Structure 1
Amino acid sequence: MEETTVTDQPEASVRKTSARKDEEVKNSTTGSEDGCKLPAVEDVVLTQPGLGVTTTTITTITQTGGQWSTGLFNVCGDKTTCLLGALVPCCLDISLAHQYGECLCLPLLPGSTFAIRVGIRERYKIQGSVCEDWTAVYCCYPLAVCQMIREMRQRMKTQTYHVSTALECS
């Protein structure tokens, strides 16, 4: 008679007994209610006791609603952005894609600035329409990019992060 026992641990142990070791198996068996003999199983510790479970909660508060924080023609509010928008708006568009959380190659695709503007308006619940977004981007591209950069910076400043950590002992 041959018996194989495999335990469910990372280091699986296999025990084989032959006919001459039947006596050892008989000595290590226990009875059950129906009279059957079962091999005795030792309790195995699968996890070690630790310090406990750490729970971390992060709360983000984002300002939403209302109008754009700055107007389309409010170029004097941020002189650096205004200068970059006038000289190299494509570089400013790449910076906008990065701040928005998109790939830096996104501004190379046609219509991407328009899509980001609609996304900013939807994300922050800014009042307006797709028609207004299209007009701003395609008629006043550098001004629209500058406005979106200013909006992203303004909205990112108003986010509040609250981090709390709790340790539950086991």
Structure 2
Amino acid sequence: MTFEVRLKCREMLTSALRMGDLPEGSGDPEDKAVQLEEAIYEELSNSDVKYKNRIRSRLSNLRDPKNPGLRDRFLRGLLSAEKLARMSPEEMASDDLRRMREKFVQEAINQAQMAEMPQGTKTDLFKCPRCKKRNCIQVHTQDGGEPMVTFVMCDECGNRWKT
């Protein structure tokens, strides 16, 4: 890695940190950029490609107008250069993006669970405790000498419970 490349990376990081208003109590953007570049270089000095990709990733996340919290936390010293240098994309994501990802994961889990549910009988005898609708499917199960158990799944929201 040439020192010229490192200097250019520091300049770009400084520029990204100077975007917009500086938060109260923030450190010098140039010093912070140098610290971040050094932390990335320390970890990835043996691979030009990985080093440049890591720099690009940090630039993109620091410039993201939908994620001002990352830049602010770093500038105010709440997030160290070493930590920011090693963060995954998921860790750097804005709170909105994190919530959206969690929602997609939960929906995928619900879909997988619903696919596992055996076919039952549609009924309006039960009211879903979550969505308060009466669009349900009931399944009766009985193991050996055990009493019969009724499982209910809301066809509206996917909520499941047993009666």
TM-score interval, normalised by the smaller of the two chains: under 0.3
Larger radius of gyration: 1
TM-score (norm 1): 0.24
Greater RCO (Cα-Cα under 8 Å, separation 6 or more): 1
TM-score (norm 2): 0.25
More helix per residue: 1 or 2? 2
